[in-house]
Amino acid sequence: MNDTKLNIVVIDENPVRAAILEDGLRDAGYTRVTRIGEMGNLLRRLADLDPDVMLIDLENPSRDVLEQMFQVSRIVRRPVAMFVDQSDGTMIQAAVDAGVSAYIVGGLQKDRVRPILDMTISRFNAFSRLQGELDEARGKLAERKVIERAKGILMKQRGMNEEDAYRLLRETAMTQKKKLADIAEGVVMAARLLGS
């Protein structure tokens, strides 16, 4: 996708501040920019717009407003840049925990919008890759655990050694054209049902 074709949403109740972001985006060649100026029904509106990137500008956010924005960031799962006038360590940590890709304090200028947008997307993509790798590693670990459990059950019930138990699981998986972990899960489930 040509990045200037991105669907970008600017969330800001202040039209003057929002105009700085919108002008910066348009100067950088972005034409699909929508501004949301009211916080009511925000999640529904974002779901309808389905943005590629969100830029949230908050002047002096209260804890409630920040929590609402963090909630949006967690649910929408898109690159999010949050602009604030002042901050503290707790707010920054809450923003990171909520998945905000870039947290910019002060100095909103239209010539900075493009580099901030690029960094926001890059950080979001990097984090998404890491999250995917973590999820994959957790999945493989869970599969290994269930295979080990199934081998233990076969060794106990059938008096097999570990190598023979693994071979039986593997051959059954190949015969049934299923994943080894699925066969192992079946063995574990059957043992639970039979109280073994």
Domain match, 84 and 161 both: no
Domain identity same for 79 and 23 = yes
Q: What is the CATH number of the domain that holds 18?
A: 3.40.50.2300
Containing 95, the helix (H) or strand (E) segment is helix 89-98
Are 93 and 157 within one domain? no
Q: pLDDT tens per residue, the chain (196 residues)? A: 457 789 999 988 888 888 989 999 999 999 999 999 887 777 888 888 889 998 988 776 666 666 777 777 777 788 988 888 777 778 778 777 777 888 888 777 888 888 889 999 999 999 889 989 999 999 999 999 999 999 999 999 999 999 999 999 999 999 999 999 999 999 999 999 987 6
> Residue 175 is part of a domain; what is its CATH number?
1.10.10.10
Q: Could you tell me the residue range of the domain that residue 179 belongs to? A: 137-193
* Residue-level pLDDT at 179: 94
Contact (Cβ atoms closer than 8 angstroms) between residue 150 and residue 187? yes
Instruction: Say whether both 182 and 99 belong to one domain.
Output: no
Cα 25 to the center of its chain, rounded Å: 24
Is residue 141 domain-resident?
Answer: yes
